[in-house]
Each structure stands twice: as structure tokens, then as C-alpha cells.
Chains A and B, each alone.
Chain A
Amino acid sequence: GIQVEQSPPDLILQEGANSTLRCNFSDSVNNLQWFHQNPWGQLINLFYIPSGTKQNGRLSATTVATERYSLLYISSSQTTDSGVYFCAVIIQGAQKLVFGQGTRLTINP
């Protein structure tokens, strides 16, 4: 099956710092989503981005489908950005959303 690898596994930053999270995947995909899971377990949609670049406030994402990776950028981090960030993909022709292991982000005040 498809492999989804996220890096780094853990990231600890001070408030105000910028960060880049990476997601590598092993097959062609027609669905790629970034989620933020808050401490209560809610998975919050950040981006649906199988290709291209999108921005939403302090967050932006880029997926280079031909090279099978996606990047999530967080600028001017706030303590509320803490949590686990997941990348998840569906390969072409399939229905199953496969998650990476996640990046645990801790923003200290």
C-alpha cells in the first residue's frame, strides 16, 4: 500500500517562530489533506491540496505532485497552533484516506 511519511515527528518552537512540516508519499494521489488535531481530538481541516499552492492566513501549503511531497508552512506561530498535524492521502482510483504518523508541534509562550 501507499506509504506516507511526515517529518519531523516532533517540533518545539517559541511563539512567533515559523515552521515547515513535510509529507512524502510513495504513489500518485488524487486527494491530499492537511489536518490539525487539537488536544481534544478534533481533526480540523486545514487544506485540501492534491497539487499547487494555497494560503489561509498564517498557514500555507504546497504540493508538488510530480515529486510526491507536500509542505505545510506556519508563520508567526501562536500557542494555539500546538497539536498534531497530519497529512493524509488517497491514491488514484481508491477511496481509502491513509494518514501519515503526524508531526507533534509544541509552541511555547
Chain B
Amino acid sequence: DTEVTQTPKHLVMGMTNKKSLKCEQHMGHRAMYWYKQKAKKPPELMFVYSYEKLSINESVPSRFSPECPNSSLLNLHLHALQPEDSALYLCASSQGTGKATQYFGPGTRLLVL
């Protein structure tokens, strides 16, 4: 099974709200990723977790806060977002970093009002 699941599928939030995106995989992968994709653009890496430790933060604003509670779960906590943060947020996982195939979830479409 090469499935990565994400919840919710859609999210609408105000600029003062706090919300969380969730990602789960049961493939035994030890690396997990968050990407952001704006309309008509390619996905861009935000964070990489390797063995439950944050290994890459692509200079993402602190209003995005990742968390990896265990090897199967990855969360993205959202607080005080701006309308320009509206995008498709994609989670991915892989056996390791570097040479391994990355598998993507279906994404969460976020709209910030």
C-alpha cells in the first residue's frame, strides 16, 4: 500500500484562527515532508522530517509550525495566517531522504479569509 492520507480535504479559516492539517502514512517510511503549491505553480518544499526530527526548514514563516508526533504522523499547525497563504498543502513520505521515491497525499486546499 503506497497511500498517504491527509485531513481535512478543504479548510476555510480566518486570519485569527488556529487550525491544524494532518498527514498519516503506514508504509514504514522514516521521512515525511510538507509542500505548498500555489495555483499554476509547482509544489515547493516547506519542511522535511527525518526519523521524527526536523531536518529542513525552508525559511518558512513561524505562523506555520510543523510537528511529527511519531513516525506515521505529521501535523502542520496554522496560526494567524494571511490571505496569501491560501494554497494546496501537500504531504509526502519516503523510505529515506535523497534517493528514495516520495509518495504524495491528496492535499488540503486551504483558503484564508
Contacts and interface: CB of A to CB of B under 8 A. Distances in A.
Contact of B102 (A42, A97, A101, A102): A97
Contacts of A40: 106
A94 B41 CA distance: 22
Contact of B98 (A31, A42, A99): A31
A97 B45 CA distance: 7
B107 A42 contact: yes
A41 B42 contact: no
Contacts of B48: 95-96
Interface residues of B, number: 27
Contact of B88 (A30, A41, A94, A99): A41
A43 B101 contact: no
Contacts, number: 56
Given A41-B107, A42-B107, A94 B98 contact: yes
Contact of B104 (A42, A96, A98, A101): A42
Given A41-B88, A41-B107, A42-B106, 19 more contacts: A30-B98, A31-B100, A33-B101, A40-B106, A41-B106, A45-B2, A45-B104, A86-B43, A94-B98, A95-B98, A96-B45, A96-B48, A96-B56, A96-B58, A97-B33, A97-B45, A97-B102, A99-B43, A100-B42
Interface of B: 2, 31, 33, 37, 41-45, 48, 50, 55-56, 58, 88, 90, 97-104, 106-107, 109
